[in-house]
Amino acid sequence: MSFNLDSLVRDNIKKMTAYSSARHEFSGDARIFLDANENAFGSPLEEDYNRYPDPLQLAVKEKISKIKGVPPDNIFLGNGSDEAIDLLFRIFCEPGKDNVIIFPPTYGMYEVCAEMNDVSLKKVPLTADFQLNLDAIEEAIDPFTKLVFICSPNNPTGNSISRPDIEILLNNFEGLVVIDEAYINYAKQKTFIPELMEYPNLVILQTLSKAWGLAGLRLGMAFAGQPVIDYMNKVKYPYNINTATQQLVSAALDNIITVNDWIQITVEQREWLAAALARLPFTQEVCPSDANFILVRMTGAKAVYDHLAARGIIVRDRSKVILCADSLRITIGTPEENQQLTDALKDYQP
């Protein structure tokens, strides 16, 4: 397959001139900054937040580069992964003309972004065992299909998508294959990041919201070939990651040992909780999970949800989602929280 990125990019995006901030136009050392109309007296806070943040987040990217083994030029940082998802629609999909393919049940923001950007959405449901239906995907692809979104490990099902199946798409689809690896830290399957240089049509999304415990800071990552990253930087808002987030994330990235300990405990608790849920008389199936949550089918799932909510325990009822009838998605908590959950479920009377 011959891949031509420029043939996918909207003409107006190729022609546009990106906003150039004051910090873009200067490199080197300076003592006095009178270029960006900032408040020169500082801020009311202890930290100096009177200056605009680094528009390209270079210090944070350097640390992520060392952890992920990816050059900084292949990294995009967004206000959550949702910003990266939205940018991909805006860069590559002509409103009212192009389409993207998703594989439900899957993460809901792909559909939301398609609707916001007036891009047609094709849904090719996963198989009964939550894997890609390659024949149906081949039928769905047309000359206006620009993106396919694969969530792996998948949300809400928790399973990893077959790696050989993803490779078939990467080798045969002439658009971009976007693999959302938000939960990859909890999975046995390895990330696709080492394959970045092999596949110019590959985009990988990851996040610091899950394993790194930084959901409140809203920092998502996209990894791709430099031409894709360059377009994303061209279209993004100039200062999309604020200074406080950059500082706090930079400090957090020095604590990888702690994060790895949390991951190990979470995986151990996932196995413990799966076994405990399987023993409940109203459990129909505990779906295998590579994420920090479990999808479990239960008789009367809505009633179980209400029972837990009345006791101050909130899970996610996914019963109305395709292929997930009578299913609850349960996040792995601390050992104490998981024990309280199972105790509450033992008290439930169908």
Average pLDDT over residues 21-32: 73
Evaluated on CA atoms 300, 302, 303, 308, the torsion sign reads positive
Percent of the chain surpassing pLDDT 90: 91
pLDDT at 261: 98
pLDDT at 120: 98
pLDDT at 2: 77
Average pLDDT over residues 226-247: 97
pTM over 0.85: yes
pLDDT at 35: 84
For residue 23, is pLDDT > 70? no
Provide the edge-to-edge strand list for the sheet that holds 145-151: 75-78, 220-224, 202-207, 176-180, 145-151, 99-102, 120-123
Average pLDDT over residues 19-27: 73
User: CATH class for domain 5-254?
Assistant: alpha beta
CATH number of 257-346: 3.90.1150.10
Average pLDDT over residues 258-272: 98
Q: Average pLDDT of the chain?
A: 96
Closest CA to 173 of 204, 197, 141, 205: 141
Could you read off the pLDDT of 64-99 as tens digits, one per residue?
A: 999 999 999 999 999 999 999 999 999 999 999 999
Side-chain-side CA neighbours of 208 within 13 Å: the count stands at: 26
Q: Where are the domains of the chain?
A: 5-254, 257-346
